[in-house]
Amino acid sequence: MTEEAGESQAIELKEKANAKFKEQRYEEAVQLYSEAIEAEPSAILYGNRSFAYLKLECSGYALRDATEAILLDRKYVKGYYRRAQAYMSLGKFKFALRDFEAVTNACPNDQDAKKRYLECKKIVQRIAFENAIRVDDVKKSVADALDLDSMSIDDDYDGPCLDEKGITAEFMEQLIDKLSKCGKLHRKYAYQILLEAKAIFEKCPTLVDIEVPDGQKFTICGDIHGQFYDLLNIFKLNGMPSESNPYLFNGDFVDRGSFSVECILVLFGFKLLYPNHFYMSRGNHESHTMNRMYGFDGEVRSKYTEHMAQLFTEVFCCIPLAHVINKKIFVTHGGLFSEDDVTLEDIRNTDRFREPPENGIMCDLLWSDPMSMRGRSPSKRGVGVQFGPDVTEKFLQKNNLEYVVRSHEVKLQGYEVVHGGKCITVFSAPNYCDQMGNKGAFINITGGDLTPKYTVYEAVPHPNIRPMAYASSLVNI
């Protein structure tokens, strides 16, 4: 192909890719941008593909493409812009600040770029301040400063109340009704739920064993991401949680969706009501870095207090990382490991009472994804690893398991089965962020059978508050 023909083909493919991007069909856009790059690589094409990868939450690939764009054209400002956003998505704020500074230097009159630079600088400074004042005694808890007895209930409060009986089924019915009508639980009771949830999670092992009796239904749900009204729809379709209708929610309860507070209070409430029949796995978004960027931290501060946001961080660090059902089904939010020979005992012995590290067993459990190729490859997210069918098979054989259930990824039909049926993804947030057009799903199994059965559903309406309403503008470029 001549140089002129390659350039012409690249332009045509770019235009098609741009159209797919505008239609929010990001995977198709990535494919077309890739074909255009193969025909005639350019900084613009790499920059555009970087943006599409960001939309697909593939921050690692987005970072790679933005860097390639900059290498091809050091003056390509959007390359720095895209790379800054990729760094922000990964919580690498100092690197993001460097790129935002490059944008402001190149475009000194760009007020939007200046605003983002200053916001990023503020985050870096705040992190430095937090590190400077951090108390050496890591056992000191935010909860220690709480005095629930001193919190009075306003005379005009008409929501559900907690008394000496604690959480009851009646309280949960009243809570769901109040929250579904855009009401708010009094902060005293919200704090009480958090403190009791922290206490119960602290007693849980890192890897929880679940026994489902023969003939009993058990439900596994994937990411909820603050989509409260879709969460209520799950209960409508599948029945309210109870001792005879147990659930496992597999991480990413919060962030992005703007009803994350409502989601987490209801989920924690059911955990307290049915501690041996309602289970929760930690996701990668149950972390301070993610919450700071993707909305939960801002939502809690808006609806309650900064102090409560700090307490949520503590509670999240107590949530178990994985479950095994009937000694045969391994359930975790992200996936498998960057090294062979990891055992269930290794997971049980993993210290989870912390923010997620950037490597190791805990990181992989929260961040990894399956791929079709054998072996392993660097993560498309920039954290964790991508693992092939042989990795899944080795892990299952070594630990005498039948299959893996994980979440963490949007799937068009709400679920996906790969690796010869040995690795299942379930994602329970339909029309993710009000733009992906995907369905949601949950899995039912029955004790004594364990064959997964899938229920797929569409999104339901919600009040007119857009997703990411509380998120940092730095991830909304």
- Domains, the chain, in order of start with CATH, read 3-133 (1.25.40.10), 145-475 (3.60.21.10)
Q: Which stretches of the chain drop beneath a pLDDT of 70?
A: 1-6, 133-140, 476-477
Residues 6+ apart with CB under 8 A from 414: 426, 427, 428, 430, 438, 439, 440, 441, 454, 456, 457
pLDDT at residue 131 in the model: 75
Locus of tokens 């935010």: 142
Residues 6+ apart with CB under 8 A from 448: 213, 214, 215
pLDDT at residue 147 in the model: 86
Residue pair 86/59 in contact (Cβ under 8 Å)? The answer is: yes
Q: Please identify which of the residues 277, 285, 323, 462 carries the catalytic annotation.
A: 285
pLDDT at residue 296 in the model: 98
- Alpha-carbon distance of 311 to 77, in angstroms, equals 40
pLDDT at residue 3 in the model: 60
- Alpha-carbon distance of 179 to 175, in angstroms, equals 6
3-state secondary structure of 424: strand
Give the dihedral of Cα atoms 122, 124, 126, 127; nearest 10 deg. 160
3-state secondary structure of 419: helix
Kindly state the helix (H) or strand (E) to which residue 29 belongs, with its residue range. Answer: helix 26-39
Token pair of 362 as six digits: 């805990």
- Alpha-carbon distance of 113 to 121, in angstroms, equals 12
Question: What secondary structure does DSSP assign to 244-258, as a single string?
Answer: TB-EEE-S--SSSST
- Catalytic residue at 307? no
Q: What are residue 443's DSSP bridge partners? A: 220, 454
Residues 6+ apart with CB under 8 A from 404: 329, 330, 331, 332, 335, 336, 392, 395, 396, 419, 422, 423, 424
**Total-model pTM:** 0.93
- Alpha-carbon distance of 56 to 82, in angstroms, equals 14
Q: Report which of 146, 149, 259, 151 is spatially closest to residue 198, judged by C-alpha positions.
A: 146
Residue type, 335: G
Q: Report which of 144, 189, 190, 470 is spatially closest to residue 314, judged by C-alpha positions.
A: 144
Residue type, 35: E
